[in-house]
């Protein structure tokens, strides 16, 4: 049974200091959820909580590095002790590394896998276990089965489409989609929903904060500015993605492509994967 009512729910959101994480936290807060905003930038997370309170809901901010297993374990334990087991978890924290596979070093791979994949693994495993334990501890109600909660993992349209310029990013996001599908199958018996949300181009700061490999500092600056302008020109705000996340929780959707390119890449990955492979060969500058 999907979680159709957010009033009184407890929602944990990682990467909540801005962009999609903040928009999702506010969308849930506006519907009555208490938000636990986690981000590596504590002041940014605190600002999100201030905005959530202004929207009529309470919340707390936490500084967390999602790639740090021990830090995430401590965070999950603190949420349970200070609040309770969350009803909603949104594993949103993510970064991008841009450049060819041969230019992407081990340290770059470790960093992006740590945030984009391990962060999702830690959040899903730790809070998912709490949700399962809560369901098992409740008395059985055959006429009205206990609802366990909902986990949302933010993937990307890049998880469907290969790219010669984003091999590390695409790899981690494709892994998030598959992880979510596996977890959804495992947790269904505990009535815990799992959704992979796959946005296309969204006006966030992800390009401004990206690591560019294989190019000079000047070229990286130029590419960063061009990419940031392109995202702004797309005019698709994170608030629209947040609304899709809310709807996905209510309807307990499995995979949710968002905006035109999200739907396009998802459809092509199923009906014409060869076309995506051909597109991946074309440098971005020529598209």
State whether residue 57 is helix, strand or coil: coil
Contact between residue 64 and residue 46 where contact means Cβ atoms under 8 Å apart: no
State whether residue 153 is helix, strand or coil: strand
Phi, psi of 36 (to 5 degrees): -110, 105
pLDDT of residue 3: 54
Phi, psi of 64 (to 5 degrees): -140, 135
pLDDT of residue 167: 97
- Give the CA radius of gyration of the chain: 19
pLDDT of residue 146: 62
**Is residue 282 very low, low, confident or very high in pLDDT (cuts 50, 70, 90)?**
confident
Question: Token pair for residue 53?
Answer: 């309170």
Residue ranges with strand state E in 106-172: 149-154
Pick the CATH number of 10-280 from 3.40.50.300, 3.40.50.720, 3.30.70.260, 2.40.50.100: 3.40.50.720
Element (H, E) at 13: strand 10-14
Distance CA 255, CA 265 (A): 13
Residues 7, 180, 67, 123: is their CA dihedral positive or negative?
A: positive
Q: Which residues of 206-220 are buried (b: 16+ CB within 10 A; e: fewer)?
A: bbeebbbbeeeeeeb
pLDDT one-digit tens code per residue, 163-180: 999 999 999 999 999 999
Of 98, 104, 94, which is closest to residue 228 (Cα–Cα)?
98
Strands 88-91 and 97-98: unpaired
Higher pLDDT, 160 or 55: 160
Distance CA 152, CA 196 (A): 6
CB atoms within 10 A of CB 280: 15
pLDDT of residue 286: 44
**Is residue 61 very low, low, confident or very high in pLDDT (cuts 50, 70, 90)?**
very high
pTM above 0.85, yes or no: yes
Tell me which of 160, 169, 236, 265 is the catalytic residue.
169
Residue 130: pLDDT over 90: yes
Phi, psi of 11 (to 5 degrees): -120, 125
Distance CA 132, CA 94 (A): 26
Whether 236 sits among the annotated catalytic residues: the reply is no
pLDDT one-digit tens code per residue, 212-247: 999 999 999 999 999 889 888 888 999 999 999 999
Distance CA 273, CA 242 (A): 28
State whether residue 62 is helix, strand or coil: strand
Residue 158: pLDDT over 50: yes
Residue 141: pLDDT over 70: no
Contact between residue 239 and residue 271 where contact means Cβ atoms under 8 Å apart: no
């Amino acid at each position: 049974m999907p979680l159709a009512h957010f009033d009184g729910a407890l929602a944990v959101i990682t990467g909540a200091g801005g962009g999609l994480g903040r928009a999702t936290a506010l969308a849930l807060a506006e519907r009555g959820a208490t938000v636990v905003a986690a981000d590596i930038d504590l002041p940014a997370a605190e600002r999100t909580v201030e905005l959530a309170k202004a929207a009529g809901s309470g919340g707390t901010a936490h500084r967390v590095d999602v790639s740090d297993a021990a830090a995430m374990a401590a965070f999950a334990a603190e949420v349970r002790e200070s609040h309770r087991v969350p009803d909603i978890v949104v594993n949103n924290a993510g970064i991008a590394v841009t450049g060819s596979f041969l230019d992407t070093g081990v340290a770059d791979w470790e960093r992006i896998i740590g945030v984009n994949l391990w962060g999702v693994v830690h959040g899903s495993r730790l809070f998912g276990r709490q949700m399962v334990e809560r369901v098992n501890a409740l008395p059985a109600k055959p006429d009205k089965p206990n609802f366990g909660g909902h986990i949302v993992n933010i993937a990307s349209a890049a998880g469907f489409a290969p790219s010669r310029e984003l091999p590390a990013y695409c790899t981690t996001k494709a892994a998030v989609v598959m992880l979510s599908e596996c977890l959804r199958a495992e947790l269904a018996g505990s009535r815990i929903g799992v959704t992979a949300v796959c946005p296309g181009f969204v006006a966030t700061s992800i390009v401004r904060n990206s690591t560019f490999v294989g190019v000079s500092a000047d070229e990286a600056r130029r590419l960063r500015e061009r990419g940031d302008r392109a995202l702004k020109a797309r005019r698709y705000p994170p608030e629209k993605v947040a609304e899709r996340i809310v709807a996905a929780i209510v309807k307990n959707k499995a995979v949710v492509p968002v905006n035109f390119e999200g739907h396009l890449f998802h459809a092509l990955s199923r009906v014409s994967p060869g076309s995506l492979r051909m597109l991946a060969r074309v440098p971005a500058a020529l598209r």
